[in-house]
Structure 1
């Protein structure tokens, strides 16, 4: 790992990069060589698409606090809340670290809230992320399953969640990949009720910490189409952990076989899962770089939110 310069004193001018992974877009901040004091208000201001830079998430690179990691990687949703993991963001993270000259190490070990993930930047294949552990018990997602009917398909348990204005409950696969996902299979993802059922599931009181709601269409055993309504961000053009969760759920149901190409509205991802190791690879793009006056952004957002 290279030795970055010491952080500067706090300043309202923050250097940033705007990046995206398959259309899932991020504001990238170097908290190693500049001092970044992140708050929910500042994250919302940066993510705002009218007064700010605009993004699904804000990604902050910091000095690691555990010995085996190269850097610490923090994720803030557009609503200002800090979350556990972001797969598309992880790919942007490693490219950002290399572009900024913070490290030349490849692969990189990144510390997230739930452990350490491994990232490899391959010029030919794109960025590959070792996504970490998958879990399926309701408690692992903060899900209250009491008195809820359930079914099964293959090796997967399906939780039957009643939805307003639908005669049949939604059959959900629960998958935790550091952050929680509830995946349903639909006939046509283009016609799926993402805008209505998505927020209903995301904020359902049975999920203690909310949930990412995935809508998966099976094209063939190695190909799906996917839309995801994300916690604190709404529907995004792509969701890396959502793609992983959908593939894992599909394999456990007996509907898919690894590897699987996941088509999202923003691009395609490749997911591999052998029951233990979970890998995701896909594109990364730097859009532009600049400086932002964070105090001015917050003032603009405050007027918008209180008018």
Structure 2
């Protein structure tokens, strides 16, 4: 049996199985990813991460491959990036499908420079041109959303009561709408005195306790609409992230990580 070592980590409850394949290559099929991510029959996670050697010498310290719970591969995951930096144990430049992301270790937290947000309709992408600050679309009571790409597509709804939204029902409906050719992450945000309260339906993963790119996208959308100013606290079911963004600049995300356990498995 070929045993593969893995780490189980989470960022605010958004949990990951992380394999280090920088020295020994590891190839995974979508079926294997789904089996490993299964919470009853596998290890269980929202996303599965493979740390790899960078594609070109000198461009980054490592590369990161990201798989959703359903086996699909995606370009970005903010909470997973923070966990990988914490696992590395030092500041690191990571090559992702969304570009190079720099992670910095702090006092009990990790800060990621998430790069510039994508604010153009074809960056997300959308099926046809429209103003991403105010999309002229809606699904039942969810109307007037914003759209932001953080290397993955997000649609953001600002509502009076985020807890009252039936996101388990509406999330899949919006995720698979033809307006979003690559599907979309669905964010429901409530502005409060202490910041933004956020729930996220992640494409390919469903409801999660936290979503780093969702927190970034929502903060950007709220700042664009002048609902808040940066830095802003984004409160998710699993905890709080600090997001900072000044228009025209990169997005910064800071939050804690937790190493749960290390194990070995025969894939």
Normalised TM-score (structure 1)? 0.83
1:261 aligns with 2:251: no
Q: Deviations over 1:28-48 (max 9, x none)?
A: 100013331122111111110
Instruction: Flag the structure with higher helix content.
Output: 1
SS of the residue corresponding to residue 73 of structure 1 reads strand
Counterpart for residue 125 of structure 2 = 142
* Cα distance in 1 for residues equivalent to 2:257 and 2:24: 24
How far is the alpha carbon of 1:192 from its aligned partner?
1.5
SS of the residue corresponding to residue 141 of structure 1 reads coil
Counterpart for residue 47 of structure 2 = 57
Return the match for 1:85 from 66, 73, 76: 76
* Cα distance in 2 for residues equivalent to 1:30 and 1:157: 39
Return the match for 1:111 from 65, 84, 95: 95
* Cα distance in 2 for residues equivalent to 1:133 and 1:12: 41
SS of the residue corresponding to residue 139 of structure 1 reads coil
How far is the alpha carbon of 1:157 from its aligned partner?
2.5
How far is the alpha carbon of 1:169 from its aligned partner?
5.8
- Unaligned runs of 5+ residues in structure 2 are none
Return the match for 1:158 from 134, 154, 168: 134
Return the match for 2:113 from 130, 139, 142: 130
* Cα distance in 1 for residues equivalent to 2:169 and 2:48: 25
RMSD: 1.5
1:202 aligns with 2:175: yes
1:13 aligns with 2:3: yes
SS of the residue corresponding to residue 195 of structure 1 reads helix
* Cα distance in 2 for residues equivalent to 1:12 and 1:39: 16
Return the match for 1:219 from 177, 181, 192: 192
Q: Is the 8 A contact 1:216 1:227 kept in 2?
A: yes
Normalised TM-score (structure 2)? 0.95
Q: Which moved more, 1:263-272 or 1:37-46?
A: 37-46
* TM superposition outliers: structure 1 runs of 4+ over 4 Å: none
SS of the residue corresponding to residue 157 of structure 1 reads coil
Counterpart for residue 95 of structure 1 = 86
Q: Deviations over 1:66-87 (max 9, x none)?
A: 3320000110000101101000
* Cα distance in 2 for residues equivalent to 1:194 and 1:216: 12
Q: Which protein shows a greater Rg? A: 1
Cα 1:170/1:125, change in 2 over 3 Å = same
Counterpart for residue 210 of structure 2 = 238
* Cα distance in 2 for residues equivalent to 1:126 and 1:114: 22
Return the match for 1:285 from 217, 236, 258: 258
Q: Is the 8 A contact 1:125 1:281 kept in 2?
A: no
Q: Is the 8 A contact 2:216 2:253 kept in 1?
A: yes
Q: Deviations over 1:241-266 (max 9, x none)?
A: 00000000000001011111111111
Q: Deviations over 1:160-202 (max 9, x none)?
A: 3242xx2x56211010111110000011111112112111111
* Cα distance in 2 for residues equivalent to 1:177 and 1:52: 29
Q: How many residues align?
A: 265
- Unaligned runs of 5+ residues in structure 1 are 1-10, 99-105, 151-155, 295-307
* Cα distance in 1 for residues equivalent to 2:224 and 2:163: 24
Return the match for 1:270 from 242, 251, 267: 242
* Cα distance in 1 for residues equivalent to 2:232 and 2:196: 7
Counterpart for residue 120 of structure 1 = 104
